[in-house]
Amino acid sequence: MTPLFLQNIPPFIFFTGKGGVGKTSLACATAVALADRGKRILLVSTDPASNVGQVFDQTIGHQIVEIEKVNNLSAMEVDPMVAAQAYRNRVLDPVRDVMPADVLSSIEEQLSGSCTTEIAAFDEFTDLLTNTDLRERFDHIVFDTAPTGHTIRMLELPGAWSGYLDANPDAAANLGPLIGLEKNQTQYSDAVAALSNPDQTRLVLVARAQSSTLKEVSHTYEELYHIGIQQQHLAINGVLPPEAAENDALAQSIVEREAQALNEMPENLANLPLTQLALKPFNLMGVESLRALFSPIAENSLETNRATFEDIAFPPLETLVSDLSKQGHGLVMMMGKGGVGKTTVAASVAVALAGRGHKVHLTTSDPAAHLSYTLDGSLNNLTVSRIDPKAETERYRQFVLDNQGKGLDAEGLAVLEEDLRSPCTEEIAVFQAFSRIIKQADHQFVVMDTAPTGHTLLLLDATGAYHREMVRQMGQGGKDVLTPMRQLQDPQKTKVMIVTLAETTPVLEAANLQEDLRRANIEPWAWVINGSLAAAAPSSPFLITRANRELPLIRDVVTRYANQVAVISQQAIEPVGVEQLSKLVNNL
């Protein structure tokens, strides 16, 4: 059966939603399906943690390339780092020979932060929406967008930057990362028009049949609706088929839980055009598996015997919590691809440490966080907070107005307020909030549920830039200052736990994240494999087939990547609330 979102589609189709719900799989399968119909297709990933190349088993990168195994299909992965360097070159090349070296150095420093990276990626994004040559070359452009928070921010930017420059046309000459924007206002407004026109753009919200995910998607729908993207579709991906639950209590509980989540779906989602896609027993890697995504599964492809690897154990999360408890305090950071369960693991670790009598502050910097839903209660010794980008930006804006705004006349105050409306202000505000919280780790535990991989690396880039600036300003004495980056690099003060699923893409992305962290002199302390079917020992042939696919990946984590490992089994009851989170630590 053809998914509803594939019927009568316009030139642009976007797949967006929380990390880990299958956006990449659906985008790739859609691109293949359309190409198989004879349509000329360009598949674009704007996710900083893109794995489209892994899905097709070929190098793609920042330039458009043809997919070797699919006629009519081309692809590209927008690389934020490449885009940022191109943007810097565009700004600096015309003035390299006419400006003093110290002025050039100052501009380069302004253009080295994550705000420049975001603006540059945005530039690439709007060009794809407005490029007439691409429109003539391809019938459809399929976008595999970044996780929810990143996507909303990117989709808001065309209006934000366009309005900002309209209201303050002289700003681009003085605002560092904004300096290259003044020539592109028409392109930005055209991008806004394309995004909000249902004859040009279809946006597909991708979700799992989980209450927490559907609540987040409901929020995403509202935010997108209010910025003009009102014709949206909903795709519920990875629904466990009822026939997979025969004689298996775990599978039956999952089927019932998913059915309840769908029945209680928020009203704004229930009114959208809906497609449900069944979970597959195989990993969605390679062209043939993508072609099978929209087709029924053959019964004879399922396995009935659970595989075993004698050298693989499933140590519980309790082993890591015990080691942490001995230290008595410190920063514990959860990192990994979106959708792997960082929020749940962070909450579980925090609950376990608080239960042992430690003071714990559980916090998140993820724009799509749902800590309050996961905890669903309170506990002695445990405090919870969220770094809300909008709230922190307003706090920072008011602080600047109260201090730098003192004594300014009306015109000067208006200029300062206009400057603070720049989207770059949010980057500064969130970083300051992050820095405030981690100071608490000197006398208690701070457990941080960080954002998905791309966001995390941008955050670490900001802390690194801050450290370098402190050292520069303080000279030799600055080498001993304890900046946030220095604290992250100290294994006695910070424990980084990489969370993953026992699936190909999350494990590869986690391994790449580990290498990025090591280049920043941050050594991950442990890996946590979440939601493992192999550790749950299922009896359903469908779940056995999926569980058997996990074992080689778990072995890779244990033998190739991790210093130490904990494995959390797939839960029959959704791990929400203090009681269930406590059980999760011991795989009960």
Boundary of a domain, candidates 263, 295, 327: 295
The DSSP letter of residue 476 is G
What average pLDDT does the chain have?
Answer: 78
Q: Residue 388: what are its φ and ψ, rounded to 5°? A: -85, 110
- Angstrom CA distances, 20 to 25, 238, 349, stand at 10, 11, 21
Give residue 569's domain range.
318-585
Are both 324 and 225 inside the same structural domain? no
Q: Looking at the domain assignment, is residue 5 inside a domain?
A: no
Q: Which residues lie across from 45 on neighbouring strands?
A: 77, 144
The answer on pLDDT for 46 being more than 80 is no
Residues sharing a CB contact under 8 Å with residue 413, sequence separation 6 or more, in sequence order? 401, 405
The domain that holds 482 is classified in CATH as 3.40.50.300
Domain boundary among 295, 329, 352: 295
Residues 265 and 368 in one domain: no
Q: Is residue 527 part of a domain?
A: yes
Q: Rounded to 5 degrees, what are φ and ψ at 500?
A: -145, 170
Q: What pLDDT score does 478 carry?
A: 47
- Residue 154: the pLDDT is 46
Residue 303: inside a domain: no
> Is 2 inside any structural domain?
no
Judging by DSSP bridges, how do beta strands 12-17 and 565-569 pair with one another?
unpaired
Measured CA to CA, the distance from residue 533 to residue 250 in angstroms comes to 10
Do 284 and 168 lie in one domain? The reply is yes
Beta bridge partners of 235: 206, 275
Q: Kindly indicate the confidence band of residue 94, based on its pLDDT and cuts at 50, 70 and 90.
A: confident
Residue 332: pLDDT above 90?
yes
Is pLDDT larger for residue 486 or for residue 380?
380
- Calpha distance 1→244 (Å, rounded): 20
Q: Is the pLDDT of residue 12 over 60?
A: yes
pLDDT of residue 516: 78
pLDDT in tens, 419-460: 676 555 666 677 677 778 888 888 999 998 875 444 444 445
Q: 398 with 256, same domain?
A: no
Give me the mean pLDDT over the 59-68 stretch: 87
Q: What percent of the chain has pLDDT over 70?
A: 76
**What local confidence, expressed as pLDDT, does residue 176 receive?**
46
Assess whether 369 and 280 both reside in one domain.
no
Q: Are residues 204 and 244 in the same domain?
A: yes
Predicted pLDDT at 567? 94
pLDDT of amino acid 183: 44
**Annotated catalytic residue 23:** yes
Q: In 3-state terms, what secondary structure has residue 399?
A: helix
Q: Which residue has the higher pLDDT, 564 or 462?
A: 564
What letter does residue 285 receive in the DSSP assignment?
A: -
| Crossing angle of the two packed helices 342-355 and 318-327, in degrees rounded to 10 | 50
Determine, yes or no, domain membership for 455.
Answer: yes
- 251 and 324 in a single domain? The answer is no
Percent of the chain whose pLDDT exceeds 90: 21
* Active-site entry in 23, 337, 342, 495: 23
pLDDT in tens, 195-235: 788 888 898 999 888 887 888 888 888 878 877 788 889 99
Nearest to 392 by CA among 427, 362, 417, 343: 427
The residue out of 280, 295, 310 marking a domain boundary is 295
Residue 82 in this model has a pLDDT that exceeds 50: yes
pLDDT, position 427: 61
Total number of domains in the chain: 2
Structure-block tokens of residue 319: 């082993």
Residue 97 CB coordination number (10 Å): 7
Q: Which residue has the higher pLDDT, 239 or 92?
A: 239
* Among 305-309, 412-416, 545-549, the range of highest mean pLDDT: 545-549
The three-state secondary structure class of 230 is coil
Catalytic residue (one of 16, 17, 18, 24)? 24
- What is the maximal distance between C-alpha atoms in the chain? 78
Q: So what's the pLDDT on residue 356?
A: 92
φ/ψ of residue 433, rounded to 5? -65, -40
pLDDT digits 0-9 by tens, 275-312: 998 888 777 787 888 888 888 776 666 777 777 776 67
For residue 384 the two structure tokens come to: 């919870």
Whether 260 is covered by a domain: the verdict is yes
Does the pLDDT at position 330 exceed 90? Answer: yes
- Please pick, among 17, 19, 20, 464, the residue that the annotation labels catalytic: 20
Are 386 and 267 within one domain?
A: no
Q: Is 440 found in the same domain as 347?
A: yes
Q: Is residue 309 part of a domain?
A: no
| CA distances (Å), origin 181, targets 175, 178, 193, 416, 420 | 10, 6, 18, 20, 17
Give the per-residue SS3 of 384-428: EEECCHHHHHHHHHHHHHHHCCCCCCHHHHHHHHHHHCCCHHHHH
How far is the C-alpha of 306 from the C-alpha of 304, rounded, in Å? 7
- Residues 288, 364 share a domain: no
Residue 348 is predicted with a pLDDT of 92
127 and 190 belong to one structural domain: yes
Split at pLDDT 50, 70, 90, the class of 155 is very low
Q: Are 115 and 424 in contact (CB under 8 A)?
A: yes
**Under 8 Å between Cβ of 346 and 384:** no
Q: Is 24 a residue of the active site? A: yes
Does residue 201 share a domain with residue 106?
Answer: yes
Residue 422 to residues 156, 160, 566, Cα–Cα distance (Å): 13, 8, 43
Which single residue is written with the structure tokens 């079917």?
Answer: 533
Q: How many Cβ atoms sit within 10 Å of the Cβ of residue 198?
A: 12
Output the pTM of the full model: 0.74
Would you say residue 334 lies in a domain? Answer: yes
Per-residue pLDDT at 114 exceeds 70: no
Active site annotation includes 20: yes
Q: What are phi and psi of 43, to 5 degrees?
A: -100, 125
